[in-house]
Amino acid sequence: MSENEWENEREDTQEEAQAETKESGDESKNEESLFICTANRDFAAYAQEELRRLFGSVKSSILSDREVLLVKLNVSSEEAVRKIADSRPIFLRHIQPVQFERTGENAGELLGEAAAFVSETGLLHAGARAALQVRKSEGAGGDGVPQLKEWAEELLRASEAEFVTADADWIVSIYLTADAVYAGVSRPEDNLSDWSGGAVRFRREEGQLSRAKFKLLEAEREFGLDLSAYRSAVDIGAAPGGWTSLLLERGLKVTAVDPAKLHPSLLKHSNLTYIRKNASEVKFRDNEFDLLVCDMSWSPKLMVQLVGDLLHALTPGGTAIVTIKLMHKKPMALIKEVIASFENSRLQVQRAKQLFHNREEITLYMIKY
């Protein structure tokens, strides 16, 4: 996104932000907090806009090109975390508190000082489970991230906490740049994502049909869904078949609709019905499916219309998971428009999120009422 586009969208929301600043002005007097905020590449300005809508003035600087920002907020850390979590941001993927900051050029010394700070918090005591998340910006000295992480763990060995990669009580976040280190210790639920930088990594399986499968896997986790709890799904825009293959693995009956070819490995699956057509040409019975997924990578307006036309086939209470391509110049306005159209067609939006595996798009999780 260019500077100008960012400025245009800012202008649209200026009054809104001023009103919000006034409202929240008194309660947060004299308080400040510092966070490292991460969004998907090219969408950091929108994550920043989400923060501005929440907090009014937001001072930020770029730590890593196009995705990681150092952000100063005019409220306490606790209040910032609560407000951010309650607002369920779309573009802001991950936050980590900065409780310790030191400048310098020697990566080893900086890491040592950050580790000393973490030890002094006293939070990594015997019985505590801690996840150590180390990141660095381009140009930061020292070794690669895995080595830095090993090094930091070595420095923290004197603490008696157990170092884990999942289900931690505490996350220790260390971010190294060419001339500074930033560190903080937080509860996993306070970081928006318990993955380092919100980067949800899945192992690529042998024979995996498309990277798109990761989007649905991530949506399942992020939205707290259990795909195996559904009975029958329609997958609109299914080819080459990543989403369809995941739904089949979860035990659902799947109707895949796409004029393009599904991968041959799927075609013999007994739970698959493949309709090789444009979705605007298919007819379904009412309430045929309890899950509708659509990853058409198409004009949002046409996608909304197409999904709306097929919605009678989704049972009331059924779930829809849909990606919206952000081809528009003003993504926030576009998202608002799409959500309003879906809500007019009896789809209640539960969550809207730019997932780590989304590129120029976001994912909506909706329920039909």
- Tell me which residues are annotated as active site: 325
Give Cα 5 distance to the centre of its chain.
Answer: 22
| R_g of the chain, CA atoms, integer Å | 23
Nearer to ligand SAM, 81 or 238 (CB): 238
Nearer to ligand SAM, 170 or 356 (CB): 356
Burial class of residue 287 (count of CB atoms within 10 Å of its CB; 0-12, 13-18, 19+): middle
User: Which string of DSSP letters, residue by residue, matches 49-62?
Assistant: HHHHHHHS--EEEE
Report in angstroms the alpha-carbon separations of 108 from 5, 145, 147, 154, 324.
40, 13, 11, 12, 44
Please tell me the distance from the alpha carbon of residue 356 to that of residue 254, in angstroms, as a whole number. Answer: 26
Q: Is 249 in the site for ligand SAM (CB under 6 A)?
A: no
Among 243, 342, 356, 365, binds ligand SAM (CB under 6 A): 243
Interacting residues of 25 by C-beta distance below 8 A, sequence separation 6+: 56
Q: Is 259 in the site for ligand SAM (CB under 6 A)?
A: yes
Candidate segments 35-43, 163-171, 277-285, 342-350, binder of ligand SAM by CB under 6 A: 277-285
Q: How far is the CB of 279 from ligand SAM (least distance, A)?
A: 3
Residue at token pair 């905020």: 37
Q: Is 361 in the site for ligand SAM (CB under 6 A)?
A: no
Please tell me the distance from the alpha carbon of residue 279 to that of residue 259, in angstroms, as a whole number. Answer: 8
Among 49, 67, 113, 295, binds ligand SAM (CB under 6 A): 295
Q: How far is the CB of 236 from ligand SAM (least distance, A)?
A: 6
Among 97, 184, 198, 237, binds ligand SAM (CB under 6 A): 237
Q: Is 267 in the site for ligand SAM (CB under 6 A)?
A: no
Nearer to ligand SAM, 125 or 312 (CB): 312
Q: How far is the CB of 342 from ligand SAM (least distance, A)?
A: 17
Nearer to ligand SAM, 182 or 365 (CB): 365
Q: Is 266 in the site for ligand SAM (CB under 6 A)?
A: no
Candidate segments 7-15, 142-150, 182-190, 295-303, binder of ligand SAM by CB under 6 A: 295-303
Interacting residues of 96 by C-beta distance below 8 A, sequence separation 6+: 35, 36, 133, 171, 173, 175, 184, 186, 191
Nearer to ligand SAM, 136 or 325 (CB): 325
Candidate segments 80-88, 109-117, 139-147, 255-263, binder of ligand SAM by CB under 6 A: 255-263
Please tell me the distance from the alpha carbon of residue 193 to that of residue 96, in angstroms, as a whole number. Answer: 10
Please tell me the distance from the alpha carbon of residue 307 to that of residue 322, in angstroms, as a whole number. Answer: 9
Q: Is 298 in the site for ligand SAM (CB under 6 A)?
A: yes
Q: How far is the CB of 309 from ligand SAM (least distance, A)?
A: 11
Q: Is 296 in the site for ligand SAM (CB under 6 A)?
A: yes
Candidate segments 67-75, 87-95, 274-282, 325-333, binder of ligand SAM by CB under 6 A: 274-282
Q: How far is the CB of 304 from ligand SAM (least distance, A)?
A: 12
Among 18, 106, 278, 299, binds ligand SAM (CB under 6 A): 278
Q: How far is the CB of 277 from ligand SAM (least distance, A)?
A: 7
Interacting residues of 39 by C-beta distance below 8 A, sequence separation 6+: 46, 47, 67, 69, 91, 92, 93, 354
Please tell me the distance from the alpha carbon of residue 277 to that of residue 236, in angstroms, as a whole number. Answer: 10
Cis omega before residue 240 (within 30°)? yes
Please tell me the distance from the alpha carbon of residue 131 to that of residue 113, in angstroms, as a whole number. Answer: 18
Binding site for ligand SAM (CB under 6 A): 209-210, 212-213, 236-243, 257-260, 278-280, 295-298
